[in-house]
Amino acid sequence: MDFGFAYLADRPEAVPQIARWWFDEWGHLRPGHSVEALASWVRDHLSRDQLPIHIVAILDNRIVGAAALKLHELFDLYPDKNHWLGSVFVAPDFRGRGIASALAMKVVEIANSRGIQSLHLQTLRLDGGLYAKLGWEALEQINHEGQDLLVMVKQLEGRQTRALN
Domain containing 133 — which CATH number? Answer: 3.40.630.30
End-to-end CA distance of the chain: 20
Q: Which of 127, 130, 43, 119 is nearest to 85 (CA)?
A: 119
Whether 136 has a pLDDT exceeding 60, the answer reads yes
The pTM of the whole model exceeds 0.95: no
Q: Predicted confidence band at 161 (pLDDT cuts at 50, 70, 90)?
A: low
Q: What is the pLDDT of residues 59-88, one digit of tens each?
A: 999 999 999 999 988 999 999 999 999 999
Average pLDDT in the chain: 92
Query: Does residue 100 lie in a domain region?
Result: yes
Query: Does residue 98 lie in a domain region?
Result: yes
Query: Does residue 160 lie in a domain region?
Result: no
Q: Which of 27-31, 93-97, 102-106, 134-138 has the lowest mean pLDDT?
A: 27-31
Query: Does residue 165 lie in a domain region?
Result: no
Q: Predicted confidence band at 165 (pLDDT cuts at 50, 70, 90)?
A: very low
Q: Do 45 and 18 form a contact (C-beta atoms < 8 A)?
A: no
Q: Do 120 and 152 form a contact (C-beta atoms < 8 A)?
A: yes
Q: What is the pLDDT of residues 82-102, one digit of tens each?
A: 999 999 999 999 999 999 999
Query: Does residue 23 lie in a domain region?
Result: yes
Q: Predicted confidence band at 1 (pLDDT cuts at 50, 70, 90)?
A: low
Query: Does residue 164 lie in a domain region?
Result: no
pLDDT the model gives residue 42: 94
Q: Domains in the chain: how many in total?
A: 1
Query: Does residue 162 lie in a domain region?
Result: no
Q: Which of 143, 130, 165 is nearest to 154 (CA)?
A: 130
Tell me which residue range forms the domain holding 86.
4-155
Please give the average per-residue pLDDT across 13-41, as a whole number: 90
